Amino acid sequence: MKIWPLLLKAPKYLGLWMLADIAYVFFLSFFIDAIIPLSFSKFVFVHFLAIGVGAMVMFTGLGAGILWIPVLTFLEIRPSEAVAISIFTQIAGKGTGSLTYLFNGMVDVKTAVAFIPMALVGVTLGFLFSFYMRGYEQFLLYIFVFIASYLLIRTIQSLRSLTPAIKAPQVIPPPVIYAGSYPVVILSSFFTGLLSIGNSDWLIPHMALKLKMPISRAVATSLLIMFVTILFYLVLTCLGVWQGYASWPHGTYLLFATCSGVIVGGQIGTRLIRISWFERYQKHTFIVLLGASIIHLLC
């Protein structure tokens, strides 16, 4: 099976994204370690890591916070500040990737429209509650591990769902099913605002098990919901800084390396799902990455 032609064909312009990324890195190299407090070797390491994270997030639907929080704490960023950096990074990658899914007709638009208002309520509650959690960094990590472990078990359970991975439009569930899903959407978005754990980590298993949605469609739909949610989180952060209730997190210089990387990674991830072998092991990849993040934090 020829993989590269499948990665490079429509949606087009992956090559342009890569060329733009190379030009960006070349241009930024003149400012690294001079104006931007970041060594070139560290920039390259974080940048390529961001490409990998962006690809896996858009391919599996795994919330990037699950992957970024362990990495950022390893880079000596405090957990409370790592949350904001993680979410700001996700805006770039999930924005390009989720819009690609939307334009290719893979998103269940009616489900997304029904869930997004509840997601905005949840992320607002999580953002406000985070002000009371400052100074409890270790406790935040414990909550993070607990929630990630729950998601891991939930995803393993969803492996028993044998729904076919087809991209044709499915029968839309009646509104009463949407209403029954609202608590899941609000709770998952609450932890997005508190810990940057993506609500997509909850919504993908929920959509597969409860709404009987094919996994590829569940990934595309939940990522669009997640993108709108984190975009709203950025608005809340800007309002908090403007009103003097919050300050910009330490370590935001890493965004120079992460944002451009996840954009390219996001474009790669949306193409991986079109390859049958990768699509077959989409859930398994989700489980492996989630388990590895939990083990890293425990160690």
Give the mean pLDDT of 133-137: 64
pLDDT bracket for residue 140 (50, 70, 90): low
Per-residue model confidence as pLDDT tens digits over 240-269: 888 777 667 677 788 888 888 888 887 787
pLDDT at 81: 73
Q: Residue 32 forms beta bridges with which residues?
A: 36
Cis? peptide before 164, omega within 30° of 0: no
In Å, what is the CA distance from 266 to each residue of 73, 109, 270, 277?
23, 20, 6, 19
Which residues have C-beta within 8 Å of that of residue 118, sequence separation ≥ 6? 182, 185, 186, 189
Whether 208 and 218 have beta carbons less than 8 Å apart is answered as yes
pLDDT at 185: 92
Q: How open is the CA angle 176-150-229, to the nearest 5 degrees? A: 55
Provide the residue ranges of all domains of the chain, joining segments of one domain with +: 15-20+40-161+172-298
Whether 149 and 292 have beta carbons less than 8 Å apart is answered as no
Which one is predicted more confidently, 197 or 38? 38
Give the mean pLDDT of 25-37: 85
pLDDT at 132: 76
118 pLDDT more than 90: yes
175 pLDDT more than 70: no
Look up the pTM and report it: 0.67
Give the mean pLDDT of 66-95: 74
125 pLDDT more than 90: yes
